[in-house]
Amino acid sequence: MMYIRKSEDRGRAEHGWLSARHSFSFAEYHDPRFMGFSDLRVINEDRVAPGGGFPTHPHRDMEIVTYILDGALEHKDSMGNSAVIRPGEVQRMTAGTGVRHSEFNASRTDPVHLLQIWLLPEKGGLEPGYEQTAFPAAERQGKLRLVASRDGRDGSVTIHQDAELYSALLAKGEAVTLKPATGRKQWIQVARGQVSVNGNPLIQGDAVAMAEEPEITVIGTAAGENAEILLFDLR
């Protein structure tokens, strides 16, 4: 099974300081066909204007992963964490029994472009937690680099769900391949550039949902730039 979710078909939100695209139902955007995929609940592509951001607000019982594409995002939370997240870094926050946090563009002159990802946790009432790790481009160039996993292996951040998240950078002609275990599902999000997934052309913002595919091959197809993808392997 393969279903392509085109970039232009996503939900939209325009708030002046924020331009957002929603792969799944979120806030005022509701589509019963797109309530999530396996344990993946939210993928929001956000562009936040200089000085703009999300004031302090609560979360609970959600695994939240922040992935920066361009710019820098300043994070503060009720656990006492304060950090700036930059491209190549992945932040994981376990909301668990409840946290409050704020997220603001760290620059007064440049926008920040990011993916905000939510996954349902394996159980409710987890202890809140926070983690932030850098994954250099050299570790992701032409490779599927594990950046988030249930067991935190290979230096990935730990998410409390049976899910794995990979990142890859692909120049034209570079390819990565995954042979999924039986019964697993995959979601591939094109964060930038152009790729083909099992022969299907995709551009920035597109995604593909897959199940029961014996092999998945992603190839960079644009000259002069890296494509950047996120690949979720889900139960």
DSSP per residue over 7-75, as a string?
GGGSEEEE-SSEEEEESS-BTTB--TT-S-BTTEEEEEEEEE-TT-EEEEEEE-S-EEEEEEEES-EEE
> Which candidate, 20, 118, 13, places its Cα nearest to that of 60?
118
For residue 79, the domain's CATH number is 2.60.120.10
155 and 89 within one domain: no
Say which amino acid occupies 187: W
Q: Tokens for 185, please give them.
A: 């599902």
66, β-bridge pairs = 91, 116
Backbone φ and ψ for 96, nearest 5 degrees, come out as: 50, -125
Task: Report the domain count for the chain.
Answer: 2
Q: By three-state DSSP, how is residue 139 classified?
A: helix
75 and 19 within one domain: yes
Q: Tokens for 97, please give them.
A: 């029994």
Of 134, 167, 201, at which residue does a domain stop? 134
Measured distance CA(176)–CA(195) in Å, rounded: 11
Write out the chain's pLDDT in tens, 235 residues. Answer: 999 999 999 999 999 999 999 999 999 999 999 999 999 999 999 999 999 999 999 999 999 999 999 999 999 999 999 999 999 999 999 999 999 999 999 999 999 999 999 999 999 999 999 999 999 999 999 999 999 999 999 999 999 999 999 999 999 999 999 999 999 999 999 999 999 999 999 999 999 999 999 999 999 999 999 999 999 999 9
159 and 51 within one domain: no
Looking up tokens 């730990």 gives 158
Of 134, 152, 171, at which residue does a domain stop? 134
200 and 173 within one domain: yes
Measured distance CA(8)–CA(6) in Å, rounded: 6
130 and 148 within one domain: no
Do 96 and 158 touch, CB atoms closer than 8 A? no
42 and 119 within one domain: yes
Domain that holds residue 199: 137-234
SS3 content of the chain, % helix, strand, coil (to 5): 5, 55, 40
Do 89 and 135 touch, CB atoms closer than 8 A? yes
Of 79, 99, 134, at which residue does a domain stop? 134
Measured distance CA(168)–CA(226) in Å, rounded: 9
29 and 109 within one domain: yes
163 and 125 within one domain: no
Backbone φ and ψ for 140, nearest 5 degrees, come out as: -115, -10
Q: Tokens for 169, please give them.
A: 């950078």
